[in-house]
Structure 1
C-alpha cells in the first residue's frame, strides 16, 4: 500500500498521452512533486511538475535523471513505442528498437531507481503493460509487453525485501496519439490513471483496467488459439 498524498513521483513519458494523465492524477491526489520526463521536455506552469529530459535507451540519460530525482518514492514506467507491423514483415531494426524501449528501457529505470526507492522507504514501482502481453496479434509490441510483464513479476520478487510495492498494469487501448490509427474501443487516459492509482493506494500488485483485459486474463487457462486479437486500422 502506497500513500500518494505528499509523495514525490517520476513518470517516464510524462508529458503526453497516458503519462500526462498519470502526472495530473498524482497531483490531484496530493503528490508534492512529479518529475515528468520526455525526450524533449517542455516547461510546466505548475511548480509541482519538474520536466526532465530522458531517453530510456540511453544509460547516461537515465543516470542523469536519477542524479536529480533523488527524492522519488513512486516510479511509473510508462514510456514506450509502437511500430505496427506483422512479425513476418517487420523491419528488424524496428523490432530491436521496440524491445530496447519497451523492455530494456524500463528494466534500466528499475535497476537505477531501486536504490533510490529503498533509500526513501521502499515506495512503489508501477509498470505499464498491455492486454497484448497475453494475446497474439500485437506483433513486436505485444511480444515486448509480454517480456515486460515477465520482468515485472521477477522484479516484484526481487524488490520485496526492500519494501517496494510493484504494480503491473494491463489495459486494452487508451485513447492516445500512439494508437489513434487503430480502430478499437478505447478507454480514456484519465480512466487508466484513476484505476492504476486506486490500485496503488489499495496495495494491489496487479491492475486490470478494462473489461477486455479482465476477459482475456480469465481466458489464459483455456486453449491458446483463443488468445488472439485482430486489430483494425
Structure 2
C-alpha cells in the first residue's frame, strides 16, 4: 500500500474518534446511556401493589331503628319515649320473645344505649315486672319496672279524663318511698303500639309488689 493511502486512513480514524459524543466522565454516549428497558416507566400493575380490601367485621351491627327508640329495626318496641336532653328510653324485645327464649332489655341514652339492662341478650327470666295502676277520677295505666345494683327503674304511663296523659321514667333506691329522679316523656313521643302476642307476653310478667301495695313512689 502506498504511503499516501496509509496516511489518509490514519487521518480518517482520528477524525472519527473526535466526532463521537462522550459522557462527562469520558465514556462514549453509547456506553453511558442506560438501557431503554431500565428507564421505561413501569406498567400500572407494577407501579404500586394493589391495596388490600378492608377485612370484614366479625359480626354485622344490628340495623338501626326508626329513631323513635333505641331498639334495632329487627326488634319489637315494648315501650319507649323521648326524655329531656335528647335522651331516649326504651324497652326492647326480640321477635317472638318469651320467658325461656329470646330477650328483653331496657336502654337509655342520647342516640345510643349509654345504659342497658341486662348487658347481654339472655332470656328474660322474670327480670321485668308489669303492674297495673289505678287512680281516682277514672285514671289508670301501667308501670314496667326492674332492679339493677340496688336501684329500681320504673317506666310508667298514666291516662285519664279530659285527655290527661303522663308518662315518664323514675329512678328510686330499692325499698324507698320517694323517687331519686323523675324524667317526663316529651309530649307525642311515646311508643307503645305492641302487637297482641307481645302484649300477652308482657301481661304475663309478674307484678311489682311495692307498686301494687303503695302505688308509684312519690316525686322528690
- TM-score w.r.t. the length of structure 1 is 0.25
Higher alpha-carbon Rg? 2
Query: Larger relative contact order (C-alpha < 8 A, sep ≥ 6)?
Result: 1
Higher helix share: 1
Higher strand share: 2
